[in-house]
Amino acid sequence: MIESSASVMEELELPREQRVNQLRNLIDTLRIADEIASKGYLITSSELADLMDINASAVTSRGDHWSWRNWVVSRVRREGNQILWQLERVD
């Protein structure tokens, strides 16, 4: 996804401390994704949406196999009314 120049400018206008905190939050998110992938954990659509900071319906509308940052996201199975997803690290 390409950010609009307006949103990039808004981010640049944030105080340095706030920008650094956003980076820390991003690193935390990436570490969580890495741990999920390395341990082979399966996560639900809503958990994946929380991790990616998107709406849960946006997760399921992407299909069964797609890329997000450094991971391939694959739909593994359904348990009851839950879809379970697996992250696989790609470099």
Could you state, in order of their start, the residue ranges of all structural domains in the chain?
5-89
Instruction: Give the pTM.
Output: 0.81
pLDDT at 74: 98
- Helices in the chain by DSSP H: which ranges? 5-12, 16-39, 45-52, 56-60
How far is Cα 40 from Cα 35, in angstroms, rounded to an integer? 8
* Position 82 pLDDT exceeds 90: yes
Confidence at 77, pLDDT banded by 50, 70, 90: very high
Average pLDDT, the chain: 91
Mean pLDDT of 56-72: 95
Select the more confidently predicted residue: 47 or 5.
47
| Residue 75 near residue 83, CB atoms below 8 Å | yes
List the 42-44 sheet strands across, edge first: 42-44, 82-89, 71-79, 65-68
* pLDDT digit string, tens, across residues 19-44: 999 999 999 999 999 999 999 999 99
Tokens of 73: 């996201």
The single residue listed with the structure tokens 């820390």 is 24
